[in-house]
Amino acid sequence: MSQIGNNIKKLRNVKGLSQQAFADLFGLTRGNISSYEELRAEPKIEIMLQIAKYFSIPIAELLEKQLTVNEILNFEDYFPVESVSEDGGSFAKIPFLDREYFRQYDPVGQPIEKRPIIHFPLDSNNKFLAVENSSFIPHPVGFAFEEHMILFFEQVTVDILHTLGDHFGYFDGDTPFFGRYELAGKDIALVLNDWKKEVYGAETASHFWKLFGKFERVM
């Protein structure tokens, strides 16, 4: 039996997408997604291919295996570093903030645009940022990512505001930190702890990022 319906539901939950939001990505209806997840129907092959490409998951894995949260978030198994060409080809060019960037952090003297670039296969027009997890970056309770793991973040846009609730994110302002998004009515905040949070607004929107995935080198 195909696992496409189970995996669509898992993808939605991991990425924080409602059935309608997921449907909108692929020109479908909420009813389509509901029927897939309830195993009453399966998407056409062209839709399956679009889903696999959008989430950077091999089509065979999407169809034949019940994906875990770690597999959805972890790019390692699918895109080994040595497979990336020197010039990046059609791969996305993502600024990389390593631990040295944060060791003596200076937001004025270290503009993100001047950072080294990681070439990575992401099929999206949105901006992305790669950050090496380290002890130099404050993080909230429950932030279960190990040192040196590279975390990929998608810049928050109006289109994904509704997906932020209870998801991890990164704030790259004067005092960078990892936090968890909290939604209260129309108010959105990235929360580090009881004493530190940043409220999303028009003036600060470019500083907010949502966790998209992780890269973990297996030694």
Contact 161, 182 (CB under 8 A): no
- Whether 95 and 159 map to the same domain: the answer is yes
- Whether 211 and 105 map to the same domain: the answer is yes
The H or E element spanning position 131 is strand 128-132
Residue 129 bridge partners (DSSP): 153
Q: Domain of residue 207: give its range.
A: 81-215
- Whether 115 and 200 map to the same domain: the answer is yes
Q: Is the pLDDT assigned to residue 218 strictly greater than 60? A: no
Main-chain dihedrals φ then ψ at residue 136, nearest 5 degrees: -80, -15
Q: Which two tokens stand for residue 13?
A: 């939950």
Q: CATH code at 151?
A: 2.10.109
Q: Decide: helix, strand or coil at residue 184.
A: strand
Q: Last residue of a domain, which of 73, 89, 120?
A: 73
- Whether 86 and 48 map to the same domain: the answer is no
Per the prediction, the chain carries an average pLDDT of 83
pLDDT band (50, 70, 90) for residue 200: very high
Q: Which two tokens stand for residue 61?
A: 């894995």
Closest CA to 19 of 7, 29, 10, 27: 29
Q: CATH code at 53?
A: 1.10.260.40
CA distance 217 to 219: 6
- Whether 85 and 167 map to the same domain: the answer is yes
- Whether 88 and 192 map to the same domain: the answer is yes
- Cα dist. 82→42, 88, 90, 133 in Å? 35, 12, 16, 22
- Whether 126 and 35 map to the same domain: the answer is no
pLDDT (average), residues 89-94: 71
Q: Is the pLDDT assigned to residue 12 strictly greater than 90? A: no
**122 compared with 88, residue with greater pLDDT:** 122
Closest CA to 98 of 131, 135, 138: 131
- Whether 37 and 100 map to the same domain: the answer is no
Neighbours of 17 (CB within 10 A): 19
Please state the domain count of the chain.
Answer: 2
Q: How far does CA 196 lie from the centroid of its chain?
A: 23
Q: Which two tokens stand for residue 204?
A: 């600060």
Q: Last residue of a domain, which of 18, 48, 73?
A: 73
Main-chain dihedrals φ then ψ at residue 53, nearest 5 degrees: -70, -45
- pLDDT by residue (tens digit) across 99-147? 888 887 776 666 777 778 887 776 677 899 999 999 999 999 889 888 8
CA distance 177 to 196: 10
Main-chain dihedrals φ then ψ at residue 129, nearest 5 degrees: -140, 135
Q: Last residue of a domain, which of 73, 96, 118?
A: 73
- Whether 44 and 122 map to the same domain: the answer is no
Give residue 107's pLDDT: 64
Rounded to two decimals, the pTM is: 0.59
- Whether 102 and 157 map to the same domain: the answer is yes
Main-chain dihedrals φ then ψ at residue 216, nearest 5 degrees: -130, 115
Q: Half-sphere exposure of residue 12, counting CA atoms within 13 Å on the CB side?
A: 21
